[in-house]
Amino acid sequence: MSVAVVALACKLLFRLRVEGREKIPDDGAILIARHRSYWDIPIIAVACGARRRISFVARRSLIRENPLIGIFVLLYAIPIDRENFRPTDYRRVLQAISAGQLVGIFPEGTTKGAAPKIGVVRFAEKTGQKLLPVKIVTHGPYPPRYPFGFPRAEIYIGRPFRLQELAEELPPGLDRREREARLTLMMMERIDTGDGR
């Protein structure tokens, strides 16, 4: 099955409505979003448009777990071993961000509602790259209930911002761990507001 077919399926099944596509930087960004379903990857990829190729940081095991979503992982992802994250995985992600690619990262790392990890903050500090918040709003069951329970989905692409904007709101004197934890929570708030929504 081609990517074009999967993209058409996403548009039809989810009746996608997208706001803010014009806010996607031409010189790359770290795209951040909450992770609720395997469908997040194709939905965001389709919402950003065919000309905006995204390299998602995704579990390598998704390729064999879900062949449909695996197509997008193969073509639009930087596969990593999440359970045994190696220096080579780190360098591949860092290189993609530094090269000005649009790199998608789900800070929670899983669809099971885990707490967000500090990795995105560290990548943003290391590269100085902008963060691009994306909010998925669904009307109906999500993850979908197969075969007919697909929700209507709205995608809000927010204003890009740099980590320094958040850091300026922090109190002085925080140690590194507390600083990174607070920045991560503030970053998730930017996702949830959908650019002020």
| Predicted local distance difference test score (pLDDT) of residue 197 | 47
Distance CA 96, CA 9 (A): 28
Range of the domain at 95: 3-193
Distance CA 72, CA 63 (A): 9
Quote the number of domains for the chain: 1
| Predicted local distance difference test score (pLDDT) of residue 196 | 42
The CATH number that applies at residue 7 is 3.40.1130.10
Give the list of residues 6+ apart from residue 10 with CB closer than 8 angstroms, or none: 16, 39, 42, 43, 46
Quickly tell me which residue has 């197969």 as its tokens: 146
CB-based contact 195:133 (threshold 8 Å):
yes
| Predicted local distance difference test score (pLDDT) of residue 2 | 57
CB-based contact 67:99 (threshold 8 Å):
no
pLDDT along the chain (197 residues), means of 10: 74 93 95 92 88 84 72 77 78 93 92 86 96 96 88 96 95 95 96 72
Is residue 157 classed as helix, strand or coil in its secondary structure?
Answer: strand
Distance CA 112, CA 25 (A): 30
| Predicted local distance difference test score (pLDDT) of residue 63 | 72
| Predicted local distance difference test score (pLDDT) of residue 31 | 97
This prediction has a pTM of 0.89
| Predicted local distance difference test score (pLDDT) of residue 87 | 85
Distance CA 125, CA 118 (A): 11
| Predicted local distance difference test score (pLDDT) of residue 166 | 95
| Predicted local distance difference test score (pLDDT) of residue 101 | 94
Q: Which has the closest alpha carbon to 104: 188, 37, 28?
A: 28
| Predicted local distance difference test score (pLDDT) of residue 3 | 66
Token code pair at residue 45? 């990829």
